[in-house]
Structure 1
């Protein structure tokens, strides 16, 4: 199966400007292609992933990827997918955000060898451009009627669009033209909302380069969930690639909780497992869904890709500890990850170390009477060990890393005690 056939099987191709022409090109030579990202935040979230993982697939097939950090376009604002003007960022914001994105993107690509990846910043060519050059050399080639026909612009005409955001598509077109000239970049890929910007680049290349008709565009579908809710969102917000915003354990849990209806699609989209491996996992979903083999494979592949093997093993360790209830062997860092969202209570005096007193003070049990009953009935666990003695007091040995004790009431209700 060649690259384009594999992308089609995975459902990754949404639109192409010239399907036959691109297929012929890829059969005959290795090309340079690019995808851009505007540094409007200091971290990517999983909704950003698919275009860059697709770029990685091209590199694995022998092609050379370019990642464009939008240091200039990020200061302007892409109207795609927005109903109102974006808040303008300062150059300091954009630079800081760009550094965060650069570190994350560098994980996906090999920067060595003949097809080593290239990372550039479009501020390098836009930042020094004066307005007369922009209007004469580039604006002259893009008609107003052509721009008004773009969905991203047309959808904003009723609510309003500034001249600043109106010109965004020209700036991105200049990016493609510049990369075409400097690196002989033949293909731009992006999300489905980037179709208008990609075709603007092709229009500019067609008019300003003698072989412009040999450039191509390809878009990738919007990732959706079977139940209609937004992909990449949880109750606590977006699932970030930055481990300080979304811990590796939380990241793993997001993927392992994927619905059966979505998991095979996500395996195709996001992992580099082979067709045979994915089809075998699809059979498991159909015949033994309770084992959740596909979800576990998806979660492991994604956590390893984004955070590395060590973080994956840590996430698996926390998951197993929470499943078994035996948490005493977790480290302080693992406790912080695994119990980030559970109710917590800070012990402030020695009296509260008595388990009955502690259960009431931490609102784990509503009264001393109920606390005693819970303990006597074997419903209370300290760091995974059942406690049935109502006179029990929390010991130094119960403090994980000297900082935490985990109390469980019943099968699944966890509480974090801090010292």
Structure 2
């Protein structure tokens, strides 16, 4: 397999960082991106301001590559929006990588040449085959290694409380949105102003939605907001506040808490959606028989999940709960802790039984939330070091993440909420 490239799937923050790390170590990468530009997924939430400052959003090898080409990166402590992250960093980085990045190239499958996942013989000597759909059909690229940094943006979780779309959910698709809308746009404000809007979810996207919708209520008092929580109580949903080492993240929780305490937002806890009843206005019914009626719009901000369908012919060792690599899963399981503490991990923890296949970035977290760019950058630095033959550097993983100020299981229910949790 000498001379074959390392194929990186996805030209987002972690995919481009992987390419920069590989280039710096003299390893040839090929980045395949299905969209027509770098950071396409980030651009879709370009109106959202990040919790991290610029220094925490730029991969070190990427910075060195850009500076070698005369482009200085932001060094200030500002918090960029997604759009600014794309314009000032991701697209320039893709330009610096040049023809190592191929756009309009959708990876639809990865396998081992001449062998499906059942065959043992020769897996360690045959290259990986990357099936790529482009303008002229499907072609095959041979690779020594595949780093899947395609993220999870394309596969949001459904509203249904059992992980599948609830009966009636698909039929109401025109009134259910699975991503945080940009309420600075006139069309979005018209869509939600004066309506009964339900927000389902307890993560940062849901909290952000509560803040901007509360502002909308103050401008349009006939707007009604209902917040649905699957857990039995609010508990530590608002985060660590002043104890959060990412100040912007802590401040968001405080603003959301203030909006809820103002009385302008109705809160329904222990609500796991069992069905959606269509009609002129929707009704949501929970597994316990709770009913939220006269609903105009639903923001189902319940997180994302990895798309593993095109990896069906390679052998992955995934945790049965999180769909994350088995060695990583215990470190990030939200049923156990939500402290923001992730133990150092790199190439070894991200390896699979299939030689040369890695999941990196948000996709490596499976269904676990709260992923930071710093984590992805350290992951791909370690992988690049291993591929370059520098095992010492690959094993020397140093990852210090900002604490959330919260220590408890994010998956607590009304029954277990009093039992405590730990990091």
Structure 1 length-normalised TM:
0.30
- For the pair shown, the structure with the greater C-alpha radius of gyration is 1
Structure 2 length-normalised TM:
0.30
- Which protein is richer in helix relative to its size? 1
